[in-house]
Amino acid sequence: MDILLHPNPALKQVAQPVDPATDRGLKRLAVDMAKAMYLAPGVGLAATQVGIQKRLVVFDLDDGLVALCNPEIVSRSEETEIDDEGCLSFPGITVPVERCIEVTCEALDLEGRPIRFEGGGLLARMLQHEIDHLDGVLMTDRATAFDRRAALRRYRDLQEG
């Protein structure tokens, strides 16, 4: 399973909600995505990044593999912070992105059971980044115009290498 790279137009697609109870291929997809994520290596991957328009995210922040179906941020802290962010669809570059410091996320697990959790720090940043992917939004879309131009220039240089 290949991870799509910017500027693949499929990365701008909006993914559709999934139903874990009836979608027989969903667990297999999560396993394949996890393999691609670990191989990369990365800490999070959205189905959009492998060209599949389903609202499925996998991540592992050293606490084990988690798969989220239809993840939604239901509340977010007003406080934000700016930090460098990377993305498996933009190998080799990072870009400063402003994100909420804490979020509350609701999703379904692969069995269709509701999950709700609060996250801060890297977990909050990763969730905002991956859920953005499901809406066709990339980290560069969230950067300032200045940082976006600089990051995309570096990215093009690396790609043309």
DSSP 8-class letter at 112: S
Tell me how far, at minimum, the Cβ of 35 lies from Zn ion, in Å: 17
| Complex with Zn ion: residue 116 or 158, whichever CB lies closer | 158
Tell me how far, at minimum, the Cβ of 113 lies from Zn ion, in Å: 26
Give the separation between CA 70 and CA 105, rounded to whole angstroms: 10
Of 69, 87, 108, 110, the one binding Zn ion by CB under 5 A:
87
CB 45 within 8 A of CB 3: yes
DSSP 8-class letter at 9: G
Tell me how far, at minimum, the Cβ of 149 lies from Zn ion, in Å: 19
Q: Choose among 109, 87, 84: nearest CA to 99.
A: 84
- Verify binding: residue 58, Zn ion, rule CB under 5 A: no
Does 130 participate in catalysis according to the annotation? Answer: yes
Binding site for Zn ion (CB under 5 A): 87
**Active centre residues (catalytic):** 130
